[in-house]
């Protein structure tokens, strides 16, 4: 079992000549613009990374995967791989039809011969695959709020792989890796999956794993999609490259995997093992909390720390890959060495810096000791994450019409400009509706588009080191949450609920709109004839009823100071 089979794995690509012909023919077909996740899935379908899948799943495969992790053929497969599309697109497509699959630039990558079309029960999928229909799980949230309502399934004919402009030399298909191992005579290869920069604990773990398995080492990080909020892959790859010379050159290889992770814990670990098997690997490291999604909405872990290990161990023979299980690695001060947590010598001092603590130290520009990470890695991380007081951020005011959002935001803007250092942009509700969203009304759909536009602009400002102040009503929590995710990829998101009561807003009625709304002359008016979902846990709630504008704005300044976003 533990020696590699380096024969090529089947791919779904047609020959170069056929691809040229198909590309022309496919121009006539209905075409679907793939999402970022779908491009990742398609690449691994086409290059054999998802073998034995031959396309996006049919309904029978999907049901089998949900119920007992098996395709209709009986093969083990734990993760649904679906082409989710909008209802509008699904209406135009019937089983028996071919559709062209295009990347974001319109390039045709493949043809899907549709055999199945169905509307999935997403709550059932969430429970079966992720263990709970809980929106705190990033993939459950994606499933409900980003994925299309209809699934299409059927075989895929590959025309060309997605183009990558970054780190081209570090990306390998399963067959390229197999050929590389064959060429070097690597019969035993242990793979390390990661979505984090490599610190000393990881290096120690990979050294030990390679020793234990008497195998060569493949560092196989995911660069497709990882958990929202992770260190971006450009920074991570620079970090990996910075420490590569600390590994024995002749027995170590770094290769990037364009996988879209689902953070599905045990099922995901099994999926990772199958993907690694397809890449010609013989041994797979599964550590603590593999592909863990963090806490659920009750504040508890979704999965037990070693559930993923158990799951892969149970199926390792069937997959044909050997698990190298690892306990959490910790640093023992007296020995100046890392140990698995269950092998720490008695009476010694254990040092540990959690991911959260590391982020805090980076944010605040504090020391990160050499026992924890390599100076080269820390330097790269500091380049990407300067201390918070030098980063961009967004303050997002939400509240009823007339609650005082704009007035407080204006006062805050002036205070921030007085301090200087970073450019400040105010995206006020009314101003945005004039300049960005003039064609939109107040239906749920239009409000969502409006808020997403604001979120997009704010995320660009944040990314480029500026301060964005937003002041729309933003009545829906799900939309505010997705804006938060967009922005937190680049900097802090500070939600401020301007909690003026409806009675008070109506009493003030500064624009005379409440009167018109009560008379039915304005439809879908927030608070009167349209909902407002108040934030449950905003960073700050301000009460304008007992406080003047200056004090409210000052409260925000204090909050920003407390969060380290402005120097105290
Ligand atoms: S939303 O829901 O976030 O997209 O709304 P927003 O872009 O902030 O726009 C709200 C301003 O538009 C005026 N207005 C209405 N508000 C709510 N409901 C209805 N039907 C409506 N029609 C017009 C209103 O003046 C809001 O301004 P503010 O500054 O919030 O008082």
pLDDT digits (tens, 9 = 90+) for 280-305: 999 999 999 999 999 999 999 999 99
Q: Indicate whether 50 and 112 sit together in one domain.
A: yes
| Distance between CA atoms of residues 502 and 475, nearest Å | 13
Q: Indicate whether 154 and 222 sit together in one domain.
A: no
Of 331, 348, 374, which marks where a domain is finished?
331
Is residue 453 classed exposed, middle or buried when 0-12, 13-18 and 19+ CB atoms within 10 A define those classes? Answer: middle
Q: Are strands 492-498 and 540-542 parallel, antiparallel or unpaired?
A: parallel
| 373-378 own/partner pairs: CB under 8 Å, 24+ apart | 373/197, 373/199, 373/200, 374/199, 374/200, 374/242, 374/243, 374/246, 376/239, 376/242, 376/243, 377/197, 377/198, 377/199, 377/239, 377/242, 377/243
Report pLDDT digits (tens) over 224-249.
Answer: 999 987 899 999 999 999 999 999 99
Q: Indicate whether 113 and 212 sit together in one domain.
A: no
pTM for the complete prediction? 0.75
Ligand 1 atom nearest to 530, measured from its CA: 18
- The CATH number covering residue 442 comes to 3.40.50.300
pLDDT > 70? residue 418: yes
Ligand 1 centroid, distance to 3 Cα (angstroms):
65
Asked if residue 134 belongs to a domain, the reply is yes
User: Quick one: pLDDT band at residue 332, thresholds 50, 70, 90?
Assistant: very high
Asked if residue 346 belongs to a domain, the reply is no
Q: What is the mean pLDDT of the chain?
A: 95
Q: Indicate whether 216 and 108 sit together in one domain.
A: no
- The CATH number covering residue 98 comes to 3.10.400.10
Q: Which of 197-211, 354-368, 496-510, 544-558 shows the lowest per-residue confidence on average (mean pLDDT)?
A: 354-368
Return the pLDDT at 5. 65
Asked if residue 60 belongs to a domain, the reply is yes
Asked if residue 379 belongs to a domain, the reply is no
Enclosing domain of residue 497: 388-562
CA dihedral 86, 89, 94, 96 (to 10 degrees): -100
Q: Indicate whether 236 and 139 sit together in one domain.
A: no
Ligand 1 centroid, distance to 467 Cα (angstroms):
23
Q: Is 511 in the pocket of ligand 1 (CB under 6 A)?
A: yes
Q: Indicate whether 123 and 183 sit together in one domain.
A: no
Q: Indicate whether 44 and 140 sit together in one domain.
A: yes
Return the pLDDT at 567. 83
The residues annotated with a catalytic role in the active site are: 194-196
Count: domains in the chain: 3
Ligand 1 centroid, distance to 514 Cα (angstroms):
11
Asked if residue 302 belongs to a domain, the reply is yes
Asked if residue 366 belongs to a domain, the reply is no
Asked if residue 175 belongs to a domain, the reply is yes
Ligand 1 atom nearest to 432, measured from its CA: 7
Q: Indicate whether 118 and 173 sit together in one domain.
A: no
Asked if residue 250 belongs to a domain, the reply is yes
Report pLDDT digits (tens) over 72-111.
Answer: 999 999 999 999 999 999 999 999 999 999 999 999 999 9
Ligand 1 atom nearest to 442, measured from its CA: 20
Count each helix (H run) and each strand (E run) in the chain, helices first: 20, 20
CA dihedral 358, 360, 363, 364 (to 10 degrees): -110
């Amino acid at each position: 079992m533990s020696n590699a089979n380096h024969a090529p794995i089947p791919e779904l690509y047609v020959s170069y000549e056929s691809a040229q012909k198909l590309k022309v023919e496919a121009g006539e077909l209905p075409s679907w613009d793939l999402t970022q996740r779908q491009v990742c899935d398609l690449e691994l379908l086409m290059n054999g990374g998802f073998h034995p899948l031959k396309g996006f799943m049919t309904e029978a495969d999907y049901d089998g995967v949900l119920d007992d992790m098996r395709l209709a053929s009986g093969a083990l497969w734990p993760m649904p791989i679906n082409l989710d599309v909008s209802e509008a697109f699904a209406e135009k497509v019937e089983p028996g039809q071919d559709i062209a699959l295009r990347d974001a630039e319109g390039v045709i990558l493949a043809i899907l011969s549709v055999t199945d079309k169905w509307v999935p029960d997403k709550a059932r999928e969430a429970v079966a695959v992720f263990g709970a229909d809980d929106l705190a799980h990033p993939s459950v949230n994606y499933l409900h709020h980003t994925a299309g309502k209809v699934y299409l399934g059927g075989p895929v004919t590959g025309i060309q792989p997605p183009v990558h402009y970054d780190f081209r030399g570090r990306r390998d298909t399963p067959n390229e890796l197999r050929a590389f191992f064959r060429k070097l005579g690597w019969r035993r290869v242990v793979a390390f999956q990661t979505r984090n920069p490599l610190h000393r604990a990881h290096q120690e773990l990979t050294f030990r794993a390679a020793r234990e398995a008497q195998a060569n080492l493949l560092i196989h990080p995911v660069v497709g999609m990882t958990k929202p909020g992770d260190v971006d892959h450009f920074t991570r790859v620079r970090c990996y490259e910075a420490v590569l010379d600390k590994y024995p050159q002749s027995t170590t290889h770094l290769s990037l995997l364009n996988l879209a992770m689902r953070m599905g814990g045990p099922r995901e670990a099994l999926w990772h093992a199958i993907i690694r098997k397809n890449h010609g690997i013989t041994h797979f490291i599964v550590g603590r909390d593999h592909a863990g999604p963090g806490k659920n909405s009750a504040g508890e872990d979704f999965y037990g720390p070693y559930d993923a290990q158990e799951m892969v161990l149970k199926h390792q023979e069937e997959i044909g890959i050997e698990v190298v299980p690892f306990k959490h690695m910790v640093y023992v001060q007296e020995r100046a060495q890392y140990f698995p947590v269950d092998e720490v010598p008695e009476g010694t001092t254990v040092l540990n810096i959690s991911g959260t603590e590391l982020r805090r130290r980076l944010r605040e520009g504090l020391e990160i000791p050499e026992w924890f990470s390599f100076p080269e890695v820390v330097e790269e991380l500091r380049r990407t994450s300067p201390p918070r007081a030098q980063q961009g951020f967004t303050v997002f005011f939400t509240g009823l019409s007339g609650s005082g959002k704009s007035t407080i935001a204006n006062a805050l803007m002036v205070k921030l400009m007085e301090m200087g250092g970073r450019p400040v942009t105010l995206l006020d509700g009314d101003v945005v509706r004039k300049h960005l969203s003039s064609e939109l009304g107040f239906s749920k759909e239009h409000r969502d588009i409006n808020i997403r536009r604001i979120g997009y602009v704010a995320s660009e400002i944040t990314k480029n080191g500026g301060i964005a102040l937003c002041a729309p009503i933003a009545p829906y929590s799900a939309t505010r949450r997705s804006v938060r995710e967009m922005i937190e990829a680049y900097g802090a998101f500070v939600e401020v609920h301007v909690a003026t009561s409806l009675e008070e807003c109506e009493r003030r009625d500064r624009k005379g709109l409440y009167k018109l709304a009560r008379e039915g002359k304005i439809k879908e008016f927030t608070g009167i004839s349209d909902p407002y979902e108040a934030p449950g846990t905003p960073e700050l709630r301000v009460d304008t009823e007992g406080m003047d504008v200056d004090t409210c704005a000052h409260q925000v300044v204090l909050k920003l100071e407390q969060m380290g976003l402005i120097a105290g």
